[in-house]
């Protein structure tokens, strides 16, 4: 089973409503730009906690104008939650095993990602 991590904590992964796309961490986004508006959910795979390519894909999708729901999925750790949110992801899908090793409070500790975003110091 998969757990959905949001700023509010753990919850079940809802059934997708609408067009969904699963992307590998090495996906080429160039052919996708015209179809972004038709997608309601994009899930980007994180095959390893040491593989940061998914963060780049998340940011690029948002920069390309994708306004739907964006999930990071796979091998992430709680320390990466704030980076996922800053990269444009709305939530993270983790396996139950990860949730057992890193309980909800460890993820919630990083839910203040906006307050601690270095870029907020340059806004104005």
Q: How much is the pLDDT for 33? A: 75
Tokens of 79: 């320390």
Tokens of 38: 């038709």
pLDDT at 35: 84
pTM > 0.85: yes
How does strand 91-95 pair with strand 2-6?
A: antiparallel
Query: What confidence score (pLDDT) does residue 44 get?
Result: 98
Reported for 27-30, long-range contacts at CB under 8 A and 24+ positions apart, including other chains, are 27/57, 29/57, 29/60, 29/61, 29/64
Positions in the chain whose pLDDT score sits under 50: none
Domain that holds residue 54: 2-122
Please give the structure tokens belonging to residue 15: 């059934």
**Which distant-in-sequence residues (6+ apart) come within 8 Å of 91 by Cβ?**
4, 5, 6, 69, 71, 72
Per the structure, the count of domains in the chain is 1
- pLDDT, residue 119, reads 54
DSSP strands (E only) in the chain: 2-6, 9-12, 20-23, 41-46, 69-74, 91-95
What pLDDT, on a 0 to 100 scale, did the predictor assign at position 120?
56
pLDDT of residue 121: 52
CATH code, domain carrying 96: 3.20.20.70
């Amino acid at each position: 089973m998969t757990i959905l991590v949001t700023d509010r904590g753990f919850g079940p992964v809802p059934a997708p409503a609408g067009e969904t796309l699963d992307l590998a961490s090495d996906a080429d986004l160039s052919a996708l730009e015209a179809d972004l508006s038709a997608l309601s959910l994009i899930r980007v795979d994180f095959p390893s906690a040491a593989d940061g390519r998914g963060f780049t894909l998340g940011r690029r999708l948002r920069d390309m104008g994708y306004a739907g729901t964006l999930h990071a999925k796979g091998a992430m750790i709680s320390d990466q939650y704030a980076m996922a949110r800053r990269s444009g992801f709305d939530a993270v899908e983790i396996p139950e095993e990860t949730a057992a090793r890193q309980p909800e409070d460890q993820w919630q500790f990083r839910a203040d990602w906006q307050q601690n975003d270095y870029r907020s110091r340059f806004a104005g």
